[in-house]
Chain A
Amino acid sequence: MANLMTGAEIIFKVLEDQGVKHIFGYPGGAVLPIYDELKNHKKIKHILVRHEQGAGHAAEGYARSSGKPGVMLVTSGPGATNAVTALTDAYMDSIPLVCISGQVPTHLIGTDAFQECDTTGITRPCTKHNWLVKDIKKLSLILHKAFEVATTGRPGPVLIDIPKDIQFQKGKYLKPKELKNNNIKTNISFNSQDEDINKAIELIKKSNRPIFYTGGGVINSGPKATQLLRKLISLTGFPITSTLQGLGAYPGNDLQFLGMLGMHGTYEANNAMHDCDLMINVGARFDDRITGKIDEFSPKSKKIHIDIDPSSINKTVKVDLALVGDVKFVLEHLILVLEKKYPNFENSNKQKISAWWSQIEKWRKKNSLGFKNSKQVIKPQFAVQRLYELTKAQDTFITTEVGQHQMWAAQHYKFDKPNRWMTSGGLGTMGYGLPAAIGVQVANPEKLVIDIAGEASVLMTMQEMSTAIQYKLPIKIFILNNEYMGMVRQWQELLHEKNYSESYTAALPDFVKLAEAYGCVGIRANNPDELDEKIVQMLSINKPVIFDCVVDKTENCYPMILSGKPHNQMVLGKQDEDDEISEDGKVLV
């Protein structure tokens, strides 16, 4: 038999055929044959991270900003276990990720060999699917299938565990067209369910108080879905709110956009969700940070749910009409039928929803994202606002860590394009933003990439600065430094009688010196007056920068829906919050 290839060669052949340009990884004993083969494949660039979790988040950032699957390569044992957080993160946020892990040789599996762990067992609940390849003949088939599983339907992470002896063995390479469709859960295409589409259009026609509630599914469906969403919003004249993951699908500055909804969403978005008579969920999943108290979630509304994943329907919130399919197909059909049945709908329907819009304007006047600025100390919201104003002219990519800074970034940075906002929403992984920024910068070399960070989160994966330096990736780490795990501190203040148990970080590093130690640039802003000038300085540097923005230590993130409260009982600020605790009757309704 001619054309036999080693397992390692087959792996690279598959990567090349899948159009992979970059892999994020870390070598080790059980993947050495693959690393040995790397030199023969100049089209594929390997980015050496400093920790496998970093490889995973970088691959996630790469995937989210490019729309292509992220690929990571890790060794057995600790290499694989270190990847688990990133895999779980990708699973929760539906990010296509292909993780190749080395495994001890087949004959040693199950003997507690050096750096052996049950990788497929450990990653089974945090991947869409995983494989342990025990037969070289199946390697190429499995690898191609892995890419298909990761990228079709609701995207997600997959893992292929490849024992070292398989990497050495020789076998035949099968091209994708030769592959049989071996029960892959392929893209559920929307087969024009005319009746349901018509039902949806009738609900839209009937509604007096409609709202679109859109999520990450719109972004995952691709640029066309974003275009169609914008068209549908303009055709209907309806208000629209977005989840954390959906930001960017609709322009953040548009008047029809009510801002983000949910626990730290705007007053107008949450109240509109509560009082609406028609909710059209496009690619969102009724997450518990969105719904608040389920029993009192939007009690008066009919609900339409568009989702590619049938198991998202009626998981937590019962809906009246489910349209299961890829967002772009469903939106396309909705637009077709709407335009055909009710031409000039927006104008003819304007009167009908005008009272609703005036109500929304009343809520909007509360200016729920407002905050009391200061001349002495930098308010974190102000820092994000300034960062936005000074970067909005460029095509900017924002990643975040997890916590208060993440919510302030979501509230105050206005996105007008999809794939520009990378944040860990489902899993809430501190340490996500820095490595994610690396992946984003690799995928978008000329673009401005900023990680809006908290000082606690960023220290969890700070070692990846070294990666940024090595590959000359000029990412900007914009740390809102309040010396606290801010969101933990906020919850402790509001819910645990100000017992700030272990949420203050003593002995923080000097971030400016730390930057210098890594070989990049450190900048510190101490007061509001110097903020703009320092940000401009950061943007002018074509190198990685760690920006230590010293902010108010006790600022809380508002508005906020407290636990067990419905959407129409938001706390707007300090004053409300005191009332909230002392007396139920003063709660904002």
Chain B
Amino acid sequence: MIKSAYSFATNKEKIENHIIVVWVDNETGVLARVVGLFSGRGYNIDSLAVAMVDKKKNVSRITITTSGTPQVLQQIKLQLGKLVPVHKVADFSRNKKTLIREMVLLKIVSSKNQLNKAKKLCDKYKCILLDKTEKYFVLEVSALEKEIDILIKKLQPLGLVSVSRTGVVAMTKGEEIFKQT
């Protein structure tokens, strides 16, 4: 056994993937505070989406997908809640009650045949053809992040040259909105 002034990492709990939504004052440095909390405490950020959602109240909504043990996920929520500009923190579970979406822009440069193949693959997700010439397409797709992962993999041999993803956003189903408990 290595001798140390600190204890050793021991049993690992199961890692879960969650969507954390944070409402914050839209002020200088607020994103740095949120992101810094994650990096400083060794939490993961798998994707991040942020924009102002209420101009009057000056509130931004940050959506973070993260993974960790239940204990770590609980810490993430509580630590976020302590930040002064944070209004509320929600944990959207990945189940039927939550609508989860991510948008992606895909640029494909290829032959006509390949382009049509690519378009067909994307049609499954009600894609929008944003721009095209004979040699290229730009497609917009909105889907679950895993679906986008698969789509990208399938498009790669068809001449996919550029990908831009927004990060996951989420919303609860039903008439209620999330209230801080």
Contacts and interface: CB of A to CB of B under 8 A. Distances in A.
Interface stretch (A65-73, A287-295, A439-447, A571-579): A287-295
Given A125-B40, A128-B84, A309-B82, A564 B8 contact: yes
B162 interface: no
Contacts, number: 66
Given A125-B40, A311-B82, A293 B7 contact: yes
Nearest to A149: B84
A309 B79 CA distance: 9
B78 A564 contact: no
Interface in B64-110: 71, 74-75, 78-79, 81-85, 87
B51 interface: no
A564 B7 contact: yes
Given A185-B82, A185-B84, A309-B82, A124 B36 contact: yes
B1 A564 contact: yes
Interface stretch (B24-32, B117-125, B126-134, B150-158): B24-32
B36 A184 contact: no
Nearest to B39: A125
Contacts of B75: 311, 314-315
Interface size class of A (residues with CB under 8 A): 20 to 34
Which of B25, B81, B84 neighbours the largest number of chain A CB atoms within 10 Å of its CB?
A: B84
A124 B84 contact: no
Contact of A491 (B1, B5, B25, B79): B5
A120 interface: yes
Interface in A434-487: none
Interface residues of B, number: 27
A540 interface: no
A40 B6 CA distance: 52
B56 to A, nearest CB: 15
Contacts of A311: 75, 78-79, 81-82
Given A185-B82, A310-B78, A314-B71, A132 B28 contact: yes
Contacts of A494: 3
Which of A288, A313, A562, A563 neighbours the largest number of chain B CB atoms within 10 Å of its CB?
A: A563
A318 B71 CA distance: 9
Which of A183, A288, A313 neighbours the largest number of chain B CB atoms within 10 Å of its CB?
A: A183
Nearest to A488: B5
Interface in A83-125: 120-121, 124-125
Which of A121, A149, A313, A315 neighbours the largest number of chain B CB atoms within 10 Å of its CB?
A: A315
B4 interface: yes
Contacts of A310: 78, 81-82
Interface string B40-70: 1000000000000000000000000000000
Contacts of B29: 120-121, 124, 132
B33 interface: yes
B10 interface: yes
Interface string A292-330: 111100000000000001110111001000000000000
A143 to B, nearest CB: 14
A124 B85 contact: no
A427 interface: no
Contacts of B74: 314
A502 B75 CA distance: 39
A567 to B, nearest CB: 12
A371 to B, nearest CB: 22
Contacts of A293: 7, 10
B11 interface: yes
A124 B85 CA distance: 13
Which of A184, A292, A311, A562 neighbours the largest number of chain B CB atoms within 10 Å of its CB?
A: A311
Given A124-B32, A309-B82, A495 B40 contact: no
A129 interface: yes
A496 B3 contact: yes
B10 A295 contact: yes
Interface string A22-46: 0000000000000000000000000
Nearest to A318: B71
Contacts of A124: 29, 32-33, 36
Contacts of B78: 310-311, 313
A571 B69 CA distance: 34
Contacts of A292: 7
B87 A183 contact: yes
Interface string A183-218: 111000000000000000000000000000000000
Contact of B84 (A132, A184, A562): A184
Nearest to A158: B84
Interface in A121-139: 121, 124-125, 128-129, 132
Interface of A: 120-121, 124-125, 128-129, 132, 149, 183-185, 288, 291-295, 309-311, 313-315, 318, 491, 494-496, 562-564
Q: What are the 7 closest A-B residue pairs judged by CB atoms, nearest first?
A: A311-B78, A495-B3, A129-B84, A563-B4, A125-B40, A310-B78, A311-B79
11 contacts: A183-B25, A183-B84, A183-B85, A291-B7, A294-B7, A309-B82, A311-B78, A495-B3, A495-B4, A563-B7, A563-B8
Given A124-B36, A564-B8, 20 more contacts: A121-B32, A124-B29, A125-B36, A183-B84, A184-B84, A288-B7, A291-B7, A293-B10, A294-B10, A295-B10, A295-B11, A310-B82, A311-B78, A311-B79, A311-B82, A314-B75, A495-B4, A563-B5, A563-B6, A564-B4
